[in-house]
Amino acid sequence: MSNTVILPGVILKTRFVTTNTKNFNNYIDYIDRDEAKKGDTVSEDMFSVYQDYMGNTEKTSSLFTSTKDKVSEGEKEDLKNVFQKAQNKNSILWQDVISFDNKWLEEHGVYDPITKTLDEKKLMSATRAAMNEMMKREGLEKTAIWSGAIHYNTDNIHVHVATVEPNPTRTRGKRKPKTLDMMKSKVINSLMNRSEEQKKINDLIRKNMVDRKKDDSIFKWRNRKLKSQFLEIYHQLPEDRRQWQYGYHTIDPVRPSLDKLSKDYIEKYHKKDYELFLKTLDKEVDVLKRAYGEGPEEKKRYENYKQNKIDELHKRMGNAFLNEMKAYDRHIKNNNDPFLSKQGKAFQNNLSLIYTMRKVEKVFGKEYGDWKNQRAYDELQRKIEEQERG
């Protein structure tokens, strides 16, 4: 067994500083400085948080913001003034570094290692998605301003971002762990387009398996071996038909049986679909593991992904069966058979059996009447099935 550690495709490093440090004054000059463009050594009085990332820089992009891909010299001066104003008013400075495994960027078509070409627009778009999420979650949408720059070096490509409030609304800089988690998720999802793969998984669940079940009555001849399971569950359901939904607590006692019915149905009619479904889920887990890494916190993004999708299939298939049980229940109680095929319409006169049983029910009580209704319904279905086979 290999002990190779999977390096994450994306790493987010974050911190905040107060205005009593040189870090704040030097931010704009630091990330757009001539030394960075030339690959010179970082000075001691620059942003300490960035020293580890900026050691042997080969190239630094121009500044970009939430609306501008490239900030002009005049706009850069305006930014400096905004940061100075924020410092004078004791704003917090939030510093974020989004660092990438270059190989991961290559895998997703963002970076060409041969030509050393990076799709900067994609990285800027991903950064904006992360920052928009951060400001929304932290209530900074109307008060904060940020700027960033993409940096290149031989080890990894990374984006530096700094955020301030020109007119501060808070004195604490710590952001919620969920905010940071969603920032990273936004970056990954922006660069790693898995829409086709997700559609494939959803189609396997909904179109290939669940929707086909909806058009396949359990009372058809081919499903005769599953009918007893269906009826056993039906007779254990709560009185209130509105509660016949997979997620209701009142369904808890029969949910294992409902899941088994779904599994048996899938095994019988959709075995290849289900095998493809599991194979595709395993691939998605590997893709997510590659993006997030294998740390304890990072695993939370994907360790339950496969089981959650399997649970979704069971839920949707379970609801398909429950909806059929509702239709069956309406038939029993309203004498309106929704299961009759075109061939079976000729047997509609047999419904008189059910009307007769309704009269018997008044005489012998509800329990006996339900039993007789069931017998009449089964007899009607038997005749329809004989017609279908005939």
pLDDT for the residue 72: 85
Q: pLDDT digit string (tens) for 93-109?
A: 899 999 999 999 999 99
For residue 199, give every residue at least 6 positions away whose Cβ sits within 8 Å of its Cβ, in sequence order, or none. none
pLDDT for the residue 354: 47
pLDDT for the residue 14: 93
Q: pLDDT digit string (tens) for 242-253?
A: 999 999 999 999
Distance CA 53, CA 50 (A): 5
More confident residue, 243 or 337: 243
Closest Cα partner for 287 from 306, 273, 307, 309?
306
Say whether pLDDT at 227 is over 80: yes
Percent of the chain surpassing pLDDT 70:
73
**Domains along the chain with CATH numbers:** 10-193 (3.30.930), 196-334 (no CATH)
Q: Across the chain, what does the average pLDDT equal?
A: 80
SS3 content of the chain, % helix, strand, coil (to 5): 60, 10, 30
How far is the first Cα of the chain from the last one, in angstroms, to the nearest whole number?
58
The answer to whether 179 and 137 are in contact (CB under 8 A) is yes
* Burial classification of residue 188, based on how many CB atoms lie within 10 Å of its CB (0-12 exposed, 13-18 middle, 19 or more buried): buried
pLDDT band at 226 (very low <50, low <70, confident <90, very high): very high
Distance CA 95, CA 32 (A): 15
Q: Of 159-173, 307-321, 345-359, which gets the smallest average pLDDT?
A: 345-359
pLDDT band at 383 (very low <50, low <70, confident <90, very high): low
Helix (H, G, I), strand (E, B) or coil at 101: strand
> In the predicted model, what is the mean pLDDT of residues 325-351?
61
Distance CA 228, CA 348 (A): 24
pLDDT band at 50 (very low <50, low <70, confident <90, very high): very low
pLDDT band at 26 (very low <50, low <70, confident <90, very high): low
Say whether pLDDT at 124 is over 90: yes
> In the predicted model, what is the mean pLDDT of residues 361-387?
57
pLDDT band at 25 (very low <50, low <70, confident <90, very high): low
Q: pLDDT digit string (tens) for 31-47?
A: 555 444 433 333 333 22
pLDDT for the residue 382: 62
Q: pLDDT digit string (tens) for 273-290?
A: 999 999 999 999 999 999
Residues in the chain: 390
pLDDT for the residue 33: 52
The answer to whether 251 and 258 are in contact (CB under 8 A) is yes
Work out the angle at residue 179's Cα, subtended by the Cα atoms of residues 174 and 182, and round it to the nearest 5 degrees.
150
pLDDT for the residue 278: 97
Q: Which helix (H) or strand (E) holds 10?
A: strand 10-17
Token pair 């974050």 is found at: 14
> In the predicted model, what is the mean pLDDT of residues 206-213?
95
